[in-house]
Amino acid sequence: MFPNLNLPGLQLPDLPLAFPMGGMDIAFYVVAAVMLFTAICTVAVKNILQSAVFLIFSFVATAILYLLLHAEFIALAQVMVYVGGVVIFVVFTILLTSHLGEDAFATKIPRVFAAFALSIAFVLVMVKCILPTPELASGAVSSPENYSGLEPIAMRLLGYGPDGFIIPFEVVSILLLMTLICAITVARKSKDEVEKEKAVQQ
Amino acid sequence: MFVPSITNPVGDFVREMVPRLAEYLPASIQSDTLNSIVAFLVNALICVIAVCAVNIGSAPILIYMERKVCAHVQCRLGPMRLGWHGTIQTIADVLKMLFKEVYAPSGADKLMFYLAPLIVLIAPFIVCALIPFGRDLVVADVSMGIPLIIAVNGFGVLGILLGGWSSNNKYSLLGALRSGAQMISYEISFTMILLFVVMISGSTNLMSITLGQEGTISDWWIFKIPVLGIIAFILFFISSTAEMNRAPFDIAEAEQELTGGYHTEYNGTPFAMFYLAEYIALVTNSALATTCFLGGFLPPCIGVAFVDNYLNMVPGVVWFFAKVFFMIWCYMMVRWTFVRPRVDQLMDFEWKFLLPVNLVLLIAGAAYIVVCG
Amino acid sequence: MIQPRFSNLPPGFRIQRETNTEEFFINMGPQHPSTHGALRLALRMDGETIVELVPHFGYIHRGMEKQAESMSYLQYIALSDRQDYLTAIQNNLGVVIALEKGMNVGVPEKGEYIRVMLQELGRIASHLVFYGCFGGDLGGQTCLLFGFKEREMIHDILEEVTGSRLTTNFFRPGGSRYDVPDTFIPRVKAFLDHLEDAMRDYERFLSKNIIVLERSIGIGVLSKEDAIAYGCSGPVLRASGVEFDVRRANPYSIYDQFDFDIPVFHNGDCYDRYKIRIAEIHESMKILRQCIDKFPKDGPWRSKEKPVRLPVGRYYSEIETAKGLYATYVVAATTGEKPYRIHTRGPSFPHIAALNKMVQGHKVSDLVTIMATLDPVIPEIDR
């Protein structure tokens, strides 16, 4: 471990922050900085597609944060769902709806000051609420061995017992099925259209 | 301590050796912390170099192999002039590619244009780090290997979409949209087959998937479960071909239709990176097929002790690469044999045939495990 | 800086984005791998579906017909090589027959046999290129090489006979430039035996391939009426169910002495256009085998050489090249060595004109397939 940097004049006895405690801490601050930077870029960049890309990197940074907390499956699920799924579809939608080489979808940032004021207020509230928590002291929170591994999560997710989540899991799957069917219904061509297409082809 | 949470046999060796070497240093700068930091860095360096060596080193070999396989399928000789049987030809081509001027078309989104080839390279490099090349030869022996592979595969789509969009060319955009739709669709079957493997092997760790096939050839996952294993292997072959955007599923590039698709506007090093990503994906997918179905680094024992003794004498990494190159050869033969389906036919094939078959396969596999396992 | 889109297009092709934002405009060519040369196709697309196609010709227009006015008749034979370079030897014959009508010279029997044999070799060569390009445009690069492999053998034979591989410039009024060498008949025989095997392989490669079937059956259907209305000819016309072949309808040379079929298919789709060319290769092989059997050992190979001077008049010839009807119309205003005007009717031009009819409602990939089965040669369209 790193020696604790207790330099005179740099002591922060009132804050429950210990800096830097070890590799994990350095990693956390680096990742957090990347995450913040990409998050800011996401809202500040004028081009929607670029902001979607920054959003992806922000999500990836979040996933790395989960990894640092030894929640490997959550991290992978984050990448799988957000990077592999959601944002790809966002990018797809942008590509499909926009015209090539146009600035049409460049966004303007209206009311910059109001937005800044709101976000600063939000940050202040968060800091006020979170900072007093004593467990904020750095270092990975120790959890039971393999608590967040694939197998325990699966066991809990599909378990019947008091700590099982089988019913919510199935409800969610029905919801997803409904979404799928809805999507197909929306995307399906009506009969007239199909016939028209056939007529064109012949 | 600086012990990475990912265990690694090579790393253990380094961690053991660094303190021993450190004893030769003056006593004043010796400390366990320093040793662990140095060991970590050396370890990381070895891993990075190993992954890069396998990936980047295999690309010229594969390009040469592809040209030769292609040539012999087409009754030609292929490169013959430079070096013995044209062996230096690819190196010359790579050098030419690297020394070309790199420029972006006017109106292109420069940031995205140069970012896209880098993003495409993420997935193959990460997947390569997870593959066990031998009993003690794996960079990252993570417990959730297969979910990680599934997760990082999404980056490939992203890179292609960005590359196609930022080129400011309609053919590129069409190619990017096509390949995006294709890769997202085929990712589902790809994932399903990997799930099938996870289900029958009972592990998501690639090392234990490999070790679960210890024994004779009949213990490999492709043969262990009668019929289902072979079906799964064929489905894996099809969906990974599509996932890699290789012919006959290369509708994204579709030279005859889209003049190269998403990388129409790329040249020089960025183009080389797309090319590299394609060939690394070939290696990693073949390695994945080898690990999941063909017994990984295990020798093809046949149950006769006399023969098996000799087979076991060959190091695992040799068997591994032999199988990988066999798989690559299969991919290449398919590429140079079939013609390309149309984009909507490809989608129909995935959603109306491959996916239902995969679901049935999963159920059948589960039934097999319940009944026979 | 991003240039405004579509501003430099002719007014007819500017996309009215206000009316239909779904559609967009795409330029296929003039530099595109599957337009088979410098052809530009302006496409109006809805997603990947083609709404409208407008071909733009003239990228390699060389003014051949205008050039012909300042050339002697003999020089124009060399120019006809440069029209459809895949059927150069057949184009030569088309021009020569028109000239022979004017000069009123006949051809001895051996000369006619040489002509027919080289015609059919040229037809096979052109159809082999079609086979290669069809497979190649569908994405099978291997087919491309396969088709060209046998075509090279034909070119070897042509090189031995005519002295050049592609632009043969071989036939002359009254016969040909040279007699064929002694090795000609054995070589053709060996080649036919080889081609018999090769064609079996090639058909196995594409004809039953499920992807080829899926991609070509029902694609680019050209009805019988449309095919006639657009002036299509050759395999394209016969694939739509019209039994018209100049060799049978209006026999030239000695085609009336041979026993061969005119293959006709009735669906008019890409697969039929592919199958008909394969069938024609077999028919050509049949004719060649008959030629080999009946080839006169000796006798004159050309009639007595005369200066090529045509009397005043209009002379017309039509022949069946691999692509279709190739007609030459020579107007001689004064008796002499130079024409007043020569007009050529090439087969590929009407085929490209019919393209718009065939591609509507299909995908870009289908356009490539349809283009391949029309088998156009752009220099012949532009001339």
Binary contact (C142, B340; C-beta < 8 A): no
Residue A121: the pLDDT is 92
Distance from CA of B165 to the nearest CA of A (A): 7
Residue C1: the pLDDT is 36
Alpha-carbon distance C267 to C239, whole Å? 7
Binary contact (A84, B157; C-beta < 8 A): yes
CA-wise closest residue to A148 among A63, A70, A50, A42: A70
Cross-strand bridge partners of residue B134: B137
Burial of C203 (0-12, 13-18, 19+ CB in 10 A): middle
Distance from CA of B151 to the nearest CA of A (A): 4
Tell me the ipTM for this assembly: 0.77
Binary contact (A72, B143; C-beta < 8 A): yes
Nearest CA in chain B to C367: B257
A vs C, Cβ pairs < 8 A, gives 17
Binary contact (A76, B148; C-beta < 8 A): yes
Binary contact (C2, A99; C-beta < 8 A): no
B28, C92, C160 from C166: Cα distances, Å: 84, 12, 12
Binary contact (A201, C362; C-beta < 8 A): yes
Kindly report, residue by residue over B76-128, the tens digit of the pLDDT.
888 888 888 888 888 888 888 888 888 878 877 788 888 888 888 888 888 88
Question: Which amino acid is located at C96 in the chain?
Answer: V
Out of C3, C211, C364, the one facing B257 most closely (by C-beta) is C364
Burial profile C254-265: b = 16 or more Cβ within 10 angstroms, e = fewer? bbeebebebbbb
Out of C2, C5, C361, the one facing A200 most closely (by C-beta) is C361
Nearest CA in chain C to B76: C145
Distance from CA of A200 to the nearest CA of C (A): 6
The pair of three-digit structure tokens given for residue B174, joined into one six-digit string: 């069409």
Out of A2, A84, A100, the one facing B154 most closely (by C-beta) is A84
Binary contact (C211, B259; C-beta < 8 A): no
Q: Where are the alpha helices (DSSP H) in chain B?
A: 9-22, 32-73, 89-98, 110-130, 145-152, 154-166, 170-201, 206-211, 221-224, 228-243, 255-258, 268-293, 305-313, 316-335, 343-348, 355-372
Distance from CA of A201 to the nearest CA of C (A): 5
Domain A1-147 bears CATH identifier 1.20.120.1200 = yes
Q: Look at residue C30 and tell me if it is in a domain.
A: no
Render each residue's pLDDT in chain C as its tens digit; 383 residues. Answer: 344 454 555 544 444 444 455 667 777 777 777 777 788 888 877 767 787 788 887 888 888 888 888 888 888 888 888 888 888 888 888 888 888 888 888 888 888 888 888 889 989 999 999 888 888 888 778 888 888 888 888 899 888 888 888 888 888 888 888 888 888 888 888 999 998 888 888 888 888 888 888 888 888 888 888 888 888 888 888 888 888 888 888 888 888 888 888 888 888 888 888 889 999 999 898 898 888 888 888 878 888 777 888 888 888 998 988 888 889 998 888 887 888 888 888 888 888 888 888 888 888 888 888 888 888 888 888 88
Interface with chain A: mutation pick from C2, C267, C370, highest number of A CBs within 10 Å: C2
Render each residue's pLDDT in chain A as its tens digit; 202 residues. Answer: 344 444 444 444 444 444 445 666 778 888 889 998 998 888 777 777 778 888 888 888 988 888 877 777 888 888 888 877 777 777 777 776 655 444 444 445 566 778 788 888 998 998 888 777 666 555 555 566 666 677 778 888 888 877 778 888 889 889 989 988 888 887 776 666 666 666 655 5
Alpha-carbon distance B233 to C170, whole Å? 58
Kindly report, residue by residue over B34-61, the tens digit of the pLDDT.
777 777 778 778 878 888 888 888 888 8
The pair of three-digit structure tokens given for residue B127, joined into one six-digit string: 């997947």
Binary contact (A103, C5; C-beta < 8 A): no
Nearest CA in chain B to A60: B152
Q: Is A142 on the interface with C (CB under 8 A)?
A: no
Out of A53, A91, A149, the one facing B143 most closely (by C-beta) is A149
Nearest CA in chain A to B110: A50
Out of A101, A197, A201, the one facing C2 most closely (by C-beta) is A101
Question: Which amino acid is located at B1 in the chain?
Answer: M
Residue B253: the pLDDT is 67
Residues of chain A that touch chain B, judged by Cβ-Cβ distance less than 8 Å: 1-2, 23, 47, 49-50, 53, 56, 70, 72-73, 76-77, 79-80, 83-85, 87-88, 91-92, 95-96, 100-101, 149-150
Nearest CA in chain A to C2: A101
DSSP state of A122: H
Mean pLDDT of B55-74: 86
With vertex at residue B283, the alpha carbon angle to CA B279 and CA B287, rounded to the nearest 5 degrees, is 165
Out of B109, B143, B176, the one facing A47 most closely (by C-beta) is B109
Interface with chain B: mutation pick from C41, C141, C149, highest number of B CBs within 10 Å: C141
Out of C2, C360, C361, the one facing A103 most closely (by C-beta) is C2
For residue B239, pLDDT over 80 is answered with yes
Binary contact (C221, A202; C-beta < 8 A): yes
Phi-psi region of B131 (alpha: psi -120 to 50; beta: other; left: phi over 0): beta
Q: Hey, how many other C-beta atoms are within 10 angstroms of the C-beta on A72?
A: 22
Task: Name every chain B residue with its beta carbon within 8 A of the beta carbon of A53.
Answer: 112, 115, 158, 162
Q: Where are the alpha helices (DSSP H) in B28-109?
A: 32-73, 89-98
* 8 Å CB contact between B361 and B239: no
Out of C2, C24, C360, the one facing A200 most closely (by C-beta) is C360
Q: Is C368 on the interface with B (CB under 8 A)?
A: yes
Distance from CA of B166 to the nearest CA of C (A): 13
Interface with chain B: mutation pick from C138, C271, C371, highest number of B CBs within 10 Å: C138
Binary contact (A88, B161; C-beta < 8 A): yes
Boundaries of domain holding C304? 74-382
For residue B328, pLDDT over 80 is answered with yes
Task: List the chains bordering chain C where 3 or more Cβ pairs fall under 8 Å.
Answer: A, B
Binary contact (C24, A202; C-beta < 8 A): no
Binary contact (A201, C5; C-beta < 8 A): no
Q: Look at residue C296 and tell me if it is in a domain.
A: yes
Nearest CA in chain A to C1: A101
Q: Is C127 on the interface with A (CB under 8 A)?
A: no
pTM: 0.82
Alpha-carbon distance B145 to C49, whole Å? 41
Kindly report, residue by residue over C14-62, the tens digit of the pLDDT.
444 444 556 677 777 777 777 777 888 888 777 677 877 888 878 888 8
Distance from CA of A183 to the nearest CA of C (A): 19
For residue B272, pLDDT over 60 is answered with yes
CATH number at residue C231: 1.10.645.10
Binary contact (C5, A102; C-beta < 8 A): yes
3-state secondary structure string across B157-207: HHHHHHHHHHCCCHHHHHHHHHHHHHHHHHHHHHHHHHHHHHHHHCCCCHH
Binary contact (A150, B204; C-beta < 8 A): yes
Out of C26, C212, C363, the one facing B339 most closely (by C-beta) is C212
Binary contact (C5, A200; C-beta < 8 A): no
Nearest CA in chain B to C207: B339
Nearest CA in chain B to A92: B177
* Strands of C313-320's sheet in order across: C313-320, C325-332, C341-345
